[in-house]
Amino acid sequence: MPDVQAPFLLDAMLGKLATYLRMCGYDAAYALDEGRMTEADDALLAAAREEGRTLLTRDRELAARAGDRGTLLTSRTVEDQLRALSEAGLALELDDRPARCGSCNGSVEQVSAGERVAHAPDEGRVWRCERCGQQFWKGSHWERVGGTLADIRGDSGSESSISE
């Protein structure tokens, strides 16, 4: 089993996985994030090296070129990708207080009642991304992600789809 360690850089095929990892508090840069916007293998390899990131990819050749900095995820579904990372020892749980924006990977801060967007729920905490300004709270999306992660943590009979 490979040693999978954050921070991460995910290739263009793993956008949904990037959101899940961010919601679990991981620094998970994505190839198509604003400001990065690259699918070029050489650029991804250089960024992973320069930023000290583990490259997560579905591209066998790219993973091979990344060497120790690369991890190949062979599954197409985010659930199986998460399961493979969990089997490789990555903790996949939602923190009580979110640390990362699911959209842009920026750090988040709690906002006061007067700073909330109009459509935010009256009860519960609301957070804002310090980078993109998006506000979010623990609603139905949070619950669905939490349920998916709980299912994955409880499933031990699946074959791993991760390789070096």
DSSP for 105-155 reads --BEEE--GGGS-TTS-SSS-EEEETTT--EEESSHHHHHHHHHHHHHHH-
- Let me know how many helices (H) and strands (E) the chain has, helices first: 5, 8
Whole-number pLDDT of residue 66: 96
Residue closest to 50 by CA, chosen among 39, 36, 71, 60: 36
DSSP state of 13: G
Specify the 3-state DSSP secondary structure of 162: strand
Beta strands at 108-110 and 126-129: parallel, antiparallel or unpaired? antiparallel
Residue 91 has pLDDT above 60, yes or no: yes
- Mean pLDDT, the chain, as a whole number? 89
- pTM of the predicted model, to two decimals? 0.87
Beta strands at 70-73 and 162-163: parallel, antiparallel or unpaired? antiparallel
Domain limits of the chain?
A: 8-96+139-163
pLDDT digits (tens, 9 = 90+) for 27-67: 999 999 877 777 899 999 999 999 999 999 999 999 999 99
Whole-number pLDDT of residue 72: 97
Average pLDDT over residues 99-125: 90
pLDDT digits (tens, 9 = 90+) for 138-148: 988 899 999 99
Band (pLDDT 50/70/90 cuts) for residue 94 is very high
Q: How far apart are CA 84 and CA 74, in angstroms?
A: 9
